[in-house]
Amino acid sequence: MMKNPKPTLLTFYIALSIATTVALIVFVLDRNIKNSAIVFLATGPVAYFFIYNALQTFIYRKIKLIYKSIHNLKLGKDNAFGEHLSDDPVNDVEQEVEDWARTKRKEIDDLKRMEQFRKEFLANVSHELKTPLFSLQGYIHTLIDGADEEPEIRKKFLEKSADNIERLCNLVDDLSEISHLERGEVSVAKETFDINKLVKEVFDSLEPQATEKQISFSIKKGCDHSFLVLADRERIRQVLTNLLVNSIKYGRTHGETTVGFYDMDENILTEVSDNGIGIDEEHLPRLFERFYRVDKHRSRDAGGTGLGLAIVKHLIESQGGVINVRSTTGIGSTFGFTLRKSKEK
């Protein structure tokens, strides 16, 4: 059986059926094949004319109206538009409805994900704020209750209070930065620079932290030469600092962090690899989400706001690059990001 026949074809089949039926009735009654043929030839066009006009007037015009309403709704328009239906309005409407339903289903799924994300975000922000606030509250009340009379305890509690205030300030700063990044309000001052040289500068700035953890920094063998990229130098410094600090925090004592560079035709791929504790595969898809922590207790003990990798992702994407991660538990992790290769020599 034909699916969604065109109006002309549908009318033809109906008229043919009517003409054939009438001709058969005449033949049965009259037993004259000539008369039956005349009736068939006369009935067919008449039936076609009336049926076609009836379909157009009572069915297809209404279908066209429905089509217009759906199409305008999809386009966000209130005004009518020119006729552009094909000769198969039923199929057109069916396709429009399917497309509309598919779009709405995707919008609903996106809204559900955003709602879940919003709930998680609010819960995470609340938790991140409460921890230092409760600590501050405890230290201050203890001092008010008389602990300030002992100089050593007073100094200790004031230092801890200062640490928690600094943590709150860092959290607010990171929230503000990621908000600006998501709205595209951060200016990008691109320039040509040698990313190998920048990595070595970040190595030097983080040397005290690395030495304390007894972690060594190095450039991968065969990569220790100039790689010119076109990007915002200070933003990329921020990216490298975050990734290298993480390699120190979650690296093994006496471990090693290596940075490699790879020419990818139009881009330069930079990879930061460590031989630390690694990350379970189940966590990798969500690693760049705001406040997502693989080990929440350990992550907070190591410091940080939980927004570092989310900011890194936005910073790289603002340069037109992409960032990814691969990791194996117990072996280590590698974060890689691309930057546009500079055409300057």
* Closest to 248 in 3D by CA, of 206, 294, 301, 201: 206
Residue 101 lies in a domain: no
Residue 121 lies in a domain: yes
Q: Which two tokens stand for residue 216?
A: 């060594």
Cα gap 262→221, rounded to integer Å: 12
CATH number for position 150: 1.10.287.130
Q: Are residues 239 and 299 in the same domain?
A: yes
Cα gap 109→103, rounded to integer Å: 10
Residue 96 lies in a domain: no
Number of domains comprising the chain: 3
Residue 229 lies in a domain: yes
Residue 131 lies in a domain: yes
Cα gap 244→333, rounded to integer Å: 11
- For the question of whether the overall pTM of this predicted structure is more than 0.75, the answer is no
Q: Are residues 130 and 76 in the same domain?
A: no
Cα gap 293→327, rounded to integer Å: 15
Residue 94 CB contacts under 8 Å (≥ 6 apart), including other chains: 4
Q: Are residues 259 and 325 in the same domain?
A: yes
Identify the domain boundary among 28, 53, 87: 87
Q: Are residues 141 and 160 in the same domain?
A: yes
Chain centroid to CA 253: 36
Domain range for residue 239? 191-340
Q: Are residues 229 and 258 in the same domain?
A: yes
- Per-residue pLDDT reduced to its tens digit, 305-345: 678 888 899 899 988 999 999 998 888 999 999 999 988 76
Q: Are residues 199 and 123 in the same domain?
A: no
Q: Are residues 248 and 312 in the same domain?
A: yes
- Per-residue pLDDT reduced to its tens digit, 219-276: 999 998 999 999 999 999 999 999 999 999 888 888 999 999 999 989 999 999 999 8
Q: Residue 330 phi/psi, 5° resolution?
A: 85, -10
The band of 81, judged by pLDDT with boundaries at 50, 70 and 90, is: very low
Q: What's the pLDDT at 335?
A: 95
